[in-house]
Amino acid sequence: MNTGSQIYLSVIIPSYNEDKNFARGVLDEVLSYLRKQRYSWEIVLSDDGSKKSFVEKLENFAKKDERVKLLENVHAGKSAAVKSGILAANGDWKLFTDFDQSTPLNEIEKLFKYLDSYDVIIGSREMIGARRDKEPWYRHLMGRVFNLVVQTLTIPGILDTQCGFKLFSAQAAEKLFSSLVIYGSQKKRSNAFTGAFDVEVLYLAQKFGYKIREVPIIWRHYETNRVNPFKDSVTMFYDILKIRLVDMRGLYK
């Protein structure tokens, strides 16, 4: 566990060949926002085995500020990159946020309101007050169906498990990400499948008694060719069943 930290907030940003989003200047926006804050912070760029040309872009960006750190991982999927970044970060609070900044970093101010009472504070696209921009209808429908399955089988009461904007206390982050089983592997992959690792993290948070707060945020859809709606949904459904089976076997400790 990280103790005695001089860093208040760690921002963990996973990546895998994000050339298109990098060109939009999303990292510059993150850095610009953080430089205006009065609290101490760090950015952990946790790369998932991207091609050399993209890693070089991250290396050059990290030179802009000593508080930006680059963590290079083997290509093992988004869950592995997030886990590596979370466990390497030194902040009292740790936020992981998607590289495309579909939820702008300044939305964290909405989450900060609940630091005194909660260990896990997550952005939600489904709560009253949330806003979803430019999302295709079929993606929204997929999300609704998936979330119904999740609430029925694993995590009742949470409306949106998949939003890539989640804040953890250092103690909760260490415990939860160290306890992953389905998505705890760092084995090399051949694809960019994201999976349902958020579900396993939040399932463990409920199991271990952490207080979870869901907060409505602004979210904007950006097109990607990494999502196969049918294939990914089937795989994620099986992974949800695995979570229950792993728990029944007593493997979550």
pTM of the full structure: 0.89
3-class SS of residue 144: helix
**Which tokens belong to 69?**
């750190």
Q: What is the DSSP string of 195-208?
A: -SHHHHHHHHHHHT
Q: How confident is the model at residue 4 (pLDDT cuts 50, 70, 90)?
A: very low
Q: What digits encode the pLDDT tens for the residues 71-115?
A: 999 999 999 999 999 999 999 999 999 999 999 999 999 999 999
Q: Judge whether residue 128 has pLDDT over 60.
A: yes
Determine the distance from the C-alpha atom of residue 220 to the mean position of all C-alpha atoms in its chain, rounded to a whole number: 16
Are the CB atoms for 239 and 195 separated by under 8 Å? yes
Q: Write down the mean pLDDT value for the chain.
A: 89
Q: What digits encode the pLDDT tens for the residues 160-171?
A: 998 999 999 999
pLDDT (0 to 100) of residue 140: 62
Question: Phi and psi for 196 in degrees, rounded to 5?
Answer: -110, 40
Measured from the Cβ of residue 227, the count of other Cβ atoms closer than 10 Å reads 14
pLDDT (0 to 100) of residue 2: 41
Q: What digits encode the pLDDT tens for the residues 169-186?
A: 999 999 999 999 998 877
Q: How far apart are CA 118 and CA 129, in angstroms?
A: 20
State whether CATH 3.90.550.10 applies to domain 7-248: yes
Say what the alpha-carbon torsion angle 35, 213, 184, 22 is, to the nearest 10 degrees: -30
Q: Judge whether residue 246 has pLDDT over 80.
A: yes
pLDDT (0 to 100) of residue 137: 52
Side-chain half-sphere CA neighbours of 210 within 13 A: 26
Looking at per-residue pLDDT, the higher value among 88 and 240 belongs to 88
Classify residue 105 by burial, with Cβ atoms within 10 Å: 0-12, 13-18, 19+. Answer: buried
Average pLDDT, stretch 18-32? 97
